[in-house]
Structure 1
Amino acid sequence: MPTQLAPAEVRTAGKPPRSTAVSPAPKAGLLTRARDRMNTPRLYWLVAIGLVALGLLAGTAAVAAVRERSALIQDVATVGGPVSVDAQTLYRALADADATAATAFLARGAEPAHLRQRYLDDIAKATAALTVALRGADDADAARLRVVADQLPVYTGLVETARSYQRSGVPLGGAYLREASALMQQTMLPAAAVVFDNTQRRVAAEQEDASGFPWLVALLVLVTAGALVAAQLLVARRSRRVFNPGLVAASLVLVLALLWSAAALTVSANRLDIGRREGTDLVSTLSNAGRASLQARANESLTLVARGSGAVFEKSFTAQMTELIGADGTSGWLAEALEQAPEGDRQLIREAHDEALRWREMHGEVRTLDDGGDWDRAVELATATGDDALSAVFGRLDAALTGALDVANERVDRQADSAASALRGLTAGLVLLTVGLVAAVVLGFRPRIGEYR
């Protein structure tokens, strides 16, 4: 018997069954693709703009840092260094003039022509150095130099008065000479010493600043490098391509800029550090040694000029010799200079040290004679000429110190020139590499963005 169909079954007979559940998959896929088409180009644009901004910022900071360092190095070579040398020349010329005037005053009969000429040369050197130093001094140092300039004619006037009385046989000559030396040692030399110390500090500070680590530039370069890596990972994931030629090129440009900058800055900093340790610092130590020796020479002569009432000058002499070589002969400025100096400079410093020891020994003989009442023989020993005389010993000491100073000053200039050479071309190179990095980023993202049009 045939099966009877229900009415609903009759209506649906011969038709495929209609599903009651609607699958969301096709619609969701369309939405995802639409969202990707809308977001990926915008994301690429944002990433590209960010990389360009980072590249420009890092490049600008690097160029600014290199230019600042170059300016500091240039200042060391053309301003700070020469001003320091002028300040040294001023101090040494004044101190030597004072020592020479005192020594010449002790001479019996006519004043020795070579001492008179040395004194005049010292005054001429001091005047020339004073004029040059005033041009490059700041306000505070200029005020100190004007004190020296104002007192220099007063000092020379006192010395000439002392010479006049000495030639006339009037005892007042010694009083005028002591007054002149007091003006020099208590007013003029301290002012010149402060100016020299200030210039040395400025040169050392510029050397240190020019050799410091560029922390800001390093941070910006690291951020840029990290951003480039992240961008390449993003593009690789979204475009299904392992490498993006433009971003790879940008990374290579950044690596090249980093390697070039690191090498140039390292070499430059190393040269400046050598110039500071073996140049500027050594110059300061040797200059202090020169100060002590020149003032000790003046006080040695003034002790004899005072004829039995020069205890204060002898006390100053002892203190200055202690500064120079120490109480035991193994310390003081010359010992410190030996530690600071490179091996090539030490021979001159050793010579100066040996002559200083010999000088102190001979000074003891002078004092023994003077304290024993034999003033004439003491003066004769102090002013004698010849290779083994006290004046010759001091001359060799002064010549050795001057030679060591010249070598150290030359090293400051040479290392500054070498540091500047290491940075030569880096500024232009960084500009070109920055442009190349920006162009590579643009070329890397342009075709990827074009795929979504």
Structure 2
Amino acid sequence: MPTILRAALTATLALTLALGALCAAITAHATGSWTRIQQNLAPQVRHASGLSLALTDMDAEIANILVFGNARDLVGDRAQAQKLYAQDRASVSTELQGATVSAGNDAAAQNALVGVLNGLGQYEELASRATSLNDQANAPAGHPAPAALTAYRQATDLMRDSLLPAADKLIDTNNTSFTATYDDERSLLSDLRWAALGLGLLTVGALVALQLLITRRFRRVINPALAAATLLCVTVIGTAVSMSGDEQHQLGIARHDAFDSVVALSAARAVGYDANADESRDLLDPERGGQYSDAFFGKSQQIARIDGSSLPTYSSDLDAARRAYLADHGDVRFGGYLGAEFRNITFSGERSAAERALAAWADYEHTDHTTREYLAAGRLDQAIHLNTSWAKGGSNHTFQQWDNAMRDDIAINDHAFSDAVASGRSELDSSLVLIISGTAVALALAAVGVRLRLREFR
């Protein structure tokens, strides 16, 4: 009998130890995943989105500087454009550094970064040449010097054909990596939960069997130490199963409820800045006006797609869709990035921010429509003033209102993402303490419970 008891105890202790190790491994793995998400994957997407936005605005500000020319009444606006261009350059540098650090050993992300770096210096050289040639020619507003326009065309073509596609590839690569990690982690947590449950039941079964063996051999109703060890193992199992389910839930909040909106809204901001640049390009280069107008409409559709719409009718069509939504929040007739956001509203304050963004985008489209009417009527000066005005009702002002609302919406989702990460990590910390301490005490109690019986054989 002592030999049987020792063998049974050894097997039970081994199962208990394996259960504790598996449950602890679940928490350690989940902690590592949260760390990677928080320190690598999410920052990679943010840096890539920030890089794309800064690049598009650089090109817009160069176009604005050339549009302003030597107009004295636009000196202040030109100075503002030059300031914004300098800020964009600094942002590009910052985002590139951040993206490089967070990319780590990700080969696809590194290749995309190389694509941006290879063209950035050439773009800045062409942009500088364009503004310098325009200043030397003392070109009037809306009538750039031919040589300056040629240099700008080369610069903006490089931006649209090389730099922005590389930045977009970086966003897609990083977001795909984040999604893959999310899917793998949720699947693994599910597998580990079932493994912990199976091993846990086997461990509890072994403890109960040991309890029954002692009860029958020693004619005792219950062994208190073994009973307590069994309850602790049940607690460890429950903790691991509950924790893994909660981690899956927090991952869902972090990735889909929060970060999906962050990605969509950040992409919308970058596309919006590029659309705003198309307006300036349209004023600067009438020969390419049709190309830039089509590009503007395409980007407007990316932000808030209205099926069956066209550039002349888009503003009124968007107004109709917005009125329908305000009458019934379930009636979302627009797609694109804003449509994706309105179908994923989850957090407090998110709907208000999204509605402000939609209203501001509608206002911006109104000013664009008016600008195009001025251009069609040959009123270039009025078109330039409206398109570049920061006064209330001006294109830059309405665009800024839209961008501010988008920033607020992103901040709400970003905060929710951080809360989900913090909640996930916090539960892991408390669960790990409970699993380790519960396993250790269960091991000790099981050993004590059997040893007390073994003493009877001395």
TM-score by length of 2: 0.84
Q: Does 1:132 align with 2:107?
A: no
Alignment partner, residue 339 of structure 1: 343
SS in 1 for 2:221: coil
Residue 155 in 1 paired to residue 135 in 2? no
Amino acid at match of 2:288: S
Tell me how far apart the structure 2 counterparts of residues 251 and 337 of structure 1 sit (CA, whole Å): 49
Deviations 1:176-227 (A, max 9, x none): 2222112112211121122223333334444555553323222211221222
Q: Summarize deviations over 1:272-310 as a string: whole Å, max 9, x none.
A: 332223321111110221122111111122122221432
Q: Matches of 1:96 and 1:403 in 2, distance apart?
A: 19
- Residue 75 of structure 1 pairs with residue 75 of structure 2: no
Partner of residue 388, structure 1: 393
2:20 aligns with one of 54, 59, 63: 59
Provide the residue aligned with 1:315 in structure 2. Answer: 294
Quote the offset at 1:264 in angstroms.
4.4
Q: Where does residue 61 of structure 2 map in the other structure?
A: 100
Contact 1:73 1:210 in 2 (8 A): no
Per-residue deviation, 1:263: 4.8
Asked if structure 1 preserves the Cα contact closer than 8 Å seen for 2:20 and 2:236, the reply is no
Match status 1:183 vs 2:158: yes
State how far apart, in whole Å, the 2-side matches of 1:209 and 1:288 are. 25
* One-letter amino acid of the structure 2 residue matched with residue 215 of structure 1: W
In 2, distance between residues paired with 1:53 and 1:183?
A: 65
2:357 and 2:153 map into 1 onto residues whose CA distance is 28
Q: Deviations over 1:141-181 (max 9, x none)?
A: 11211221221111111111111222213222222222211
Secondary structure of the 2:288 match is coil
CA shift for structure 1 position 259: 3.8
The whole-number CA distance in structure 1 between the counterparts of 2:229 and 2:388 is: 77
Shift of 1:451: 4.0
RMSD value, Cα: 2.3
> For 1:295-374, what aligned pairs fall within 5 Å after superposition?
295-327=274-306, 328-329=317-318, 330-341=334-345, 342-374=347-379
Describe the SS at the equivalent of 2:391.
Answer: coil
Q: Work out whether residues 307 and 375 of structure 1, in 8 Å CA contact, stay in contact via their aligned partners in 2.
A: no
Verify the 8 A CA contact 2:62 2:131 in the aligned structure 1: no
SS at match of 1:387: coil
- The answer to whether the 8 A contact 2:265-2:338 is kept is yes
Match of residue 118 from structure 1: 84
Instruction: Give the residue type in structure 2 aligned to 1:379.
Output: I
Distance in 2 (CA, whole Å) between partners of 1:210 and 1:429 is 22
Cα distance between partner residues in 1 of 2:413 and 2:270: 16
Q: For the structure 1 residues 66 and 152, does the alpha-carbon distance in structure 2 shift closer, same or farther, using more than 3 Å as the test?
A: same
Q: Are 1:265 and 1:423, in contact at CA under 8 Å, matched by a contact in 2?
A: no
Task: Determine helix, strand or coil for the equivalent of 2:286.
Answer: coil
Q: Map 1:243-258 onto structure 2 (within 5 A).
A: 243-258=222-237
Matches within 5 A, 1:133-282: 133-137=99-103, 138-167=106-135, 168=137, 169=139, 170-207=145-182, 212-213=189-190, 214-282=193-261
Q: Displacement of 1:365 after TM fit?
A: 2.1
> Can you give the 5+ residue segments of structure 2 that lack an aligned partner in the other structure?
140-144, 307-316, 319-333
1:228 offset after TM fit, Å? 1.9
**Corresponding residue number in structure 2 for 1:415:** 420
Taking structure 1 as reference, are residues 412 and 262 closer, same or farther at Cα in structure 2, changes over 3 Å only?
A: same
Task: Name the aligned partner's letter for residue 54 of structure 2.
Answer: A
CA contact (8 A) 1:203 1:280 kept: no
1:347 counterpart letter in structure 2? S
**Is residue 147–residue 191 contact of structure 1 (8 Å, CA) maintained in 2?**
yes
Deviation of 1:43 (Å): 3.1
Could you report, residue by residue, the CA deviation over 1:237-295 in whole angstroms, capped at 9, with x for unpaired residues? 33322212222021121123234444544544433332223321111110221122111
Query: Take 1:150 and 1:286, find their aligned partners in 2: how far apart are those partners?
Result: 28
Identical residues among aligned pairs (%): 26
Partner SS, residue 422 of structure 2:
helix
Aligned residue type for 1:338: F
Q: How many residues align?
A: 414
Gaps of 5+ in 1: 1-39
Which of 366-375 and 250-259 deviates more?
366-375
Which has the higher Rg, Structure 1 or Structure 2? 1
- The Cα shift of 1:448 comes to 3.3
Partners of 2:264 and 2:98 in 1: CA distance: 23
Give the Cα–Cα distance (whole angstroms) in 2 for the partners of residues 413 and 194 of structure 1.
25
Conserved 8 A contact 1:303-1:313: yes
2:39–2:102 CA contact under 8 A, matched in 1? no
Partner letter of residue 96 of structure 2? L
The 8 Å contact of residues 360 and 399 in structure 2, kept in 1 or not, is answered as yes
SS across alignment from 1:242: coil
CA deviation profile, 1:293-351 (whole Å, cap 9, x unmatched)? 11111112212222143211111111110111122433321122122132412222211
Answering whether residue 409 of structure 2 is matched by residue 404 of structure 1, we say yes
Name 1:7's counterpart in structure 2: none
SS in 2 for 1:150: helix
